[in-house]
Structure formats: C-alpha cells, structure tokens
Amino acid sequence: MAAAFSFAQVLRFSSTPFSLQTNRNTLRSFTLFRPFSTASSSSSSSSYSVISPHKLQREKWRQPVVSVLELGGVKIARDDVVRDDPTNNVPDTIFAKLGMQLHKREKHPIGILKNAIFEYFDTNYSNKFDKFDDLCPLVSVKQNFDDVLVPEDHVSRSYNDTYYIDSQTVLRCHTSAHQAELLRGHTHFLVTGDVYRRDSIDSTHYPVFHQMEGVRVFSPNDWDGSGMDATSFAARDLKKCLEGLARHLFGSVEMRWIDTYFPFTNPSFELEIFFQEKWLEVLGCGVTEQEILRRSGKENNVAWAFGLGLERLAMILFDIPDIRLFWSSDERFTSQFSSGQLGVKYKPLSKYPPCFKDISFWINDSFTENNFCEVVRGVAGDLVEEVKLIDNFTNKKGMTSHCYRIAYRSMERSLTDEEINKLQWDVRDQVVSKLNVVVR
C-alpha cells in the first residue's frame, strides 16, 4: 500500500508482467537535490531512447557489468539503468542487485517469511488473494508517486532519496507503485518485491530491501446489513485480518493499535506487538483514500491496504543482527535456513573485528549525508558496516565541517590494514571528486 512507503521510511522502511510507463514530455522540476553522476563510463549516449516491455532497441554496449536481466517479463541491460544522463543517479552497485529477488528463494529468510504470510492468507481467505512477486522494479514517476497521492513537494521525490533512471523513470521505492494498475483488475491481492532507496548506513538500513503489501476491495453488498458505514466496516475487517497475521507469525502476543497519519489512507493505523519484552511496530495500514479508488474505476467501493518490510520482521523472527547478512552467500549463513521453517534462530558466524576510520571535510550547500553514504557504498560495498556523524561545527567564516566515522567489517573474513587503507583513500578521492567538498 502507499502507507508502506511512509511506514518503512519512518522505521528505518495474475502473472502478466507490468508495462513500464514512461512519459518524457514533461521534465519534472526538483527543488531539493540534483544527482551526482554514478556511471563508470564517460559516454554521453544512452543505449536505449525508450525502455519498452515489448522490445528493447539496443545500440552499442558500454562495458556491461552483467548480462541482460529479465524482470517481470521486461528485458533490462545495464545501459537501461546506469546511464550518463544528468538525471540518473543509479550506481553499478545497485544495478548488481536487480534480479537477485531474495523473496523468491524458498530457503532464504525473506522467502520463508513471504511464504508464511502467503500461507496465512490462503488458509483464511480460501485463496482469494492474487499474488504478485515478479513485477518489474523499473516504474514511472506517475506509478511511484502520483498514483498513490504522494505530494509534489514530498521529500521522497528528491534525488537524495530516490534512484532515478531518468526524469520520469525510477527504481520503485515501494510496492505501492503497482497498486493503481492492479486495482483496475483485482479486488484481493498481495504484492511482494525488492524496493530501492538511497539511505544511511548501519545495521538496519540498506539501499535495497523487500516489501509486501496487501489490498482488499469491498462492494456495497459486503457492508449492507452490517449496521456500519463502509469505512468502519473496512477498518474492522482490516484489524481482524492483521491481528490474525500477527498471531500467525509471532504466536500469542499482546497487540495494540496506534492511530497515525498517511496521505494515502484514512483512517490510518500502525500495529504494534509486545515481543521479547518490548513494543515493536510491525506494519502500517488503513482504509484506502477514495481518490485512489476513483481513479481506478472503483468509486462505489471501499478498500483496505497494509504494508510491511520483510527485512524488519525477518531480523526479529530469525534473530539476524545485521541487514547485510541477507545478501551473504556464505554457506555458514545460508545453510542455517530451510523452506517452511519460520523463526529458526540464526547462529552467529565468527565475528571479525571492525576497523574504524575517520574522515573530516568542509561541506557545501548541496551536500547531503545520503550522497556521502552512496559514495562510501560505491567504494566499499558491503564491507562498510556503519557511517556515523561524530562531530560538526561552523567556523567564524560560516564554513561547516563534518567528521564521519566509517566502520569497516566483513561478515565473512578479517580485513587487512592494507585493504582498509586503500578503501579509505579511495573514499577520500571520491568524496572530493563527486561531492566537491574540501577534506581537512
């Protein structure tokens, strides 16, 4: 649901392939941030003028990183995603994650959790819910933002938060990007997929993660005779459904509902459970705004929607301490989990020592921490465990300095001083060249 987008942001959140809608007639104006170039090639031409789900008209490749992927029936090459385009801010490290689809791996914690949720809905709703887990993550700005009523000036639209392929095409920030089109042909559906956001670096944040949302649409016949108005009827059904899901995943736990605000649902709620001696926020949900239904040709209906982050719940259920582990290919991690075994507790690998390096620089007006983290990730990949601001000050000339501490740690081996020093020098060089800051 659209609420899944805001929910995950606060927490830090039929088999027919989707068509990719691109509209290049209007160049959207952004007032917050402009992207810095992430393409590794200096070529100024893009391999494709328009991305089409039916035919990709390819020109000459620019040193491809991987072979062509096929996602949701759409063939995608590196040149479709990482471009020498002033509106493109997708690095190769993000393109490398496309097609990995952890949620489709039955022996992976994300796939195990997804299937456990599917089982709940299949059992309690007699297979009424259509399931989608292979929709293409390349979507239009309209699908990602406009169709779910994200305001024009919302920070999530900025290049600082979202990966833009071009001015009208993004890597989806949330599974709600597919909601409007699905509503035109379905009344009960679950959507699961990988989503992409530029973010900070720590044990619970990663630029690629997985979401699931559910939507149920009611007709007047459903609430007639209930003695309730349509909105109250849908809200009651929603809470009953999600309380059952929480019990299915966590057992007999105490729950509470928190009234909240999302621009996409009204009323809106968050579900919290008391688990392991503390209250945990599990998901966001609400009764879908009528404008969304009206645009999808369902003005006489009412609906509910929910959204949850699979990594967040999997970290709790499987006792996984670091979000980077979900991407590990180390057999000592992957061999611990089996299909259908929800909540098997992760046995930690040998914990290798961290190495801390500090970097200080004078920032400029266009500096953002997300841009800095993107540079660090581009150099060190998953060897960087955390980036933390440890000091900042403004001198008498009005110049502001930031000092960041970077924690390097591999999940699989000890890092040598030589390779850490090289990474740190590369970070320094990239920060200067890409962010135009002055290292102190």
Q: Give the whole-angstrom CA distance, residue 435 versus residue 36.
A: 8
| 149 and 292 Cβ atoms separated by less than 8 Å | yes
pLDDT of res. 270: 97
Q: Give the whole-angstrom CA distance, residue 358 versus residue 366.
A: 21
> What's the first-to-final CA gap in the chain, in angstroms?
45
E strand or H helix that includes residue 122: helix 109-124
Q: What confidence category does residue 72 fall into, taking pLDDT thresholds of 50, 70 and 90? A: confident
3-state secondary structure 64-81: CCCCCEEECCEEECHHHH
Q: CA angle, 34 as apex, 31 and 38 as ends, to 5°? A: 165
Task: Please list the alpha-helical segments (H only) found in 282-324.
Answer: 290-295, 310-318
pLDDT of res. 412: 86
Q: Give the whole-angstrom CA distance, residue 101 versus residue 39.
A: 23
Domains of the chain plus CATH, in order, are: 68-335 (3.30.930.10), 355-439 (3.30.70.380)
Structure token digits, residue 50: 């328009």
* pLDDT reading at 11 higher than 80: no
303-313 pLDDT per residue, tens: 999 999 999 99
Residues 6 or more apart whose CB falls under 8 angstroms from that of 398 comprise none
129-167 pLDDT per residue, tens: 999 999 999 999 999 999 999 999 999 999 999 999 999
Residues 6 or more apart whose CB falls under 8 angstroms from that of 399 comprise 362
Q: Which residue has the tokens 């990995």?
A: 100
Q: Give the whole-angstrom CA distance, residue 91 versus residue 327.
A: 18
E strand or H helix that includes residue 246: helix 230-250
Q: What confidence category does residue 1 fall into, taking pLDDT thresholds of 50, 70 and 90? A: low
Tell me if the pTM is above 0.85: no
